[in-house]
Amino acid sequence: MYRTDSDKAAEFIDDAEIGRTLEYAARNRNDEALVSEILDKAAEGRGLGHREAAVLLECDRPELTERMFALARELKRRLYGNRIVMFAPLYLSNYCVNGCVYCPYHAKNRTIPRRKLTQDEIRREVTALQDMGHKRLAVEAGEHPTKNPIEYILESIDTIYSIRHRNGAIRRVNINIAATTVENYKRLHDAGIGTYILFEETYRRAAYEALHPTGPKSDWAYHTEAMDRAMQGGIDDVGIGALFGLTNYRYDFVGLLMHAEHLEARYGVGPHTISVPRIRPADDIDPADFPDAVTDEVFRRIVAVLRLAVPYTGMIVSTRESKRSRELVLDVGISQLSGGSRTSVGGYAEGEEDAEESAQFDVSDTRTLDEVVAWLLELGYIPSFCTACYREGRTGDRFMSLVKSGKIADCCGPNALMTLREYLEDYASPRTRVLGERLIAREVPLIPTEKIRRITAERLREIAGGKRDFRF
């Protein structure tokens, strides 16, 4: 079995400290003076420690809970405005050597069809995604040393970036693959990836090892230290997450924040994104086997407190969640959404029905991207396809400094509107286009800086006039 000699992860994911934190939170959850003090601190927008956040997660006083949700809503608006970044996952291969008991890709599953996309098949998938209007992808692949080596991932990234189809282009490729070496992270960085994403699944070591009995992923320390190696390899935008419902959500909530604190302390920049997936049905996986499943109410609370604890971090929710549950968390913290997603290998070009047997998990929100965009517009959000920060070098600590200073809106607000107009002109249904034009007309006058407002209006007119000599 693969093992590493390192165990630095135990220093920043301190099991004893998590235990003490959970005891402290349970003991003080309804201490009105303490909770009010924590909320006052959260209102400053500088974040919370893991103990403070744990207390808020446990608090069940209705008046304090409502204040918490209201504050999360206000803080999200203050830092991110009403923008929602859009993306889609792209599954390259479901070959995997790991034994993860909650994932249908596990090596012992003999019922799921195994498949790996060729470069020509990747071109067809990306073209289908471009025809929807997507500009940002999260590339996914199982862990297999011969079927999915790093060379295959790098070749696939190059293929994705090379494809131009009508007005379509993928401008940012994020990567969600297994933990690897510093050298491989350097190669991913040099390939021009956006964010490197890896979920811890669960931070509780004993539970992690039971859930990952075989394969390279069974090494808890190597997996947990992946973001350190990614940072050392030059990737300064990393995305972390936990699969809530695998074990006690309180433990994973605290572990997630301790991981973020470690990255901030060690590298001067916390996670670019935090994802909050919940355990879902899939092929031979039954969520009933996991008694710690998280309710919608708890899920919303997790998102709200994370927003207060790490206000600078983007937060992602996928099509694992239903339309209703996604709406519940949008206003209290979520800043990125997938739309029109397929979790199967080859699902975009072939259609989900043809490829669904290779899906990693069942999709709850099955709407098209256009339907999701229209829904967001009706709710008053700006669906954003912007990738300018990545291409202009506003990543890592440079991005975080803009968020923490409140100046990121000067970049993201106008660019969100321009990429929305681009989507409306190229891909939107008539109804979605009407909704989008109404929102743009309302939002442009609200841009706070007169010069930026004027430039934005000019460029919006250029897009509508068909001039495409610039990219966002």
- Residue 120 sits at φ, ψ, to 5 deg, of -65, -40
Binning pLDDT at 50, 70 and 90, where does residue 402 land?
low
pLDDT at residue 365, rounded to an integer: 86
Higher per-residue confidence, 318 vs 37: 37
The pLDDT of 367-390, averaged and rounded, is 91
**What confidence tens digit (pLDDT) does each residue in 145-204 have?**
999 999 999 999 999 999 999 888 999 999 999 999 999 999 999 999 999 999 999 999
70 pLDDT more than 60: yes
**What confidence tens digit (pLDDT) does each residue in 440-465 have?**
999 988 877 887 788 778 888 887 77
Q: Cα angle vertex 263, ends 385, 181, to 5°?
A: 85
pLDDT at residue 2, rounded to an integer: 44
For domain 80-389, which CATH number applies: 2.60.40.420, 2.60.40.10, 3.10.20.30, 3.20.20.70?
3.20.20.70
pLDDT at residue 71, rounded to an integer: 98
pLDDT at residue 294, rounded to an integer: 86
Using CB atoms within 10 Å of the CB of residue 355, give its burial: 0 to 12 exposed, 13 to 18 middle, 19+ buried.
Answer: buried
pLDDT at residue 1, rounded to an integer: 38
Q: In the chain, pLDDT over 90 holds for what percent of residues?
A: 71
Higher per-residue confidence, 329 vs 351: 329
**What confidence tens digit (pLDDT) does each residue in 416-444 have?**
999 999 999 999 999 999 999 999 999 98
pLDDT at residue 423, rounded to an integer: 95
Q: How far apart are CA 440 and CA 141, in angstroms?
A: 37
Assess contact for 304 and 74: CB atoms under 8 A.
Answer: no
Q: Which two tokens stand for residue 439?
A: 């929102």
CA dihedral 372, 375, 376, 377 (to 10 degrees): 120
Higher per-residue confidence, 269 vs 404: 269
Global pTM value: 0.91
DSSP characters for 67-90?
A: HHHHHHHHHHHHHHTTEEEEEEEE
| Interacting residues of 344 by C-beta distance below 8 A, sequence separation 6+ | 91, 352, 355, 356, 357, 358, 359, 360
Mean residue pLDDT across the chain: 89
Per-domain boundaries in the chain = 10-76, 80-389, 403-464
339 pLDDT more than 80: yes
**What confidence tens digit (pLDDT) does each residue in 107-154 have?**
898 888 999 999 999 999 999 999 999 999 999 999 999 999 999 999
Q: Which two tokens stand for residue 116?
A: 């790996």
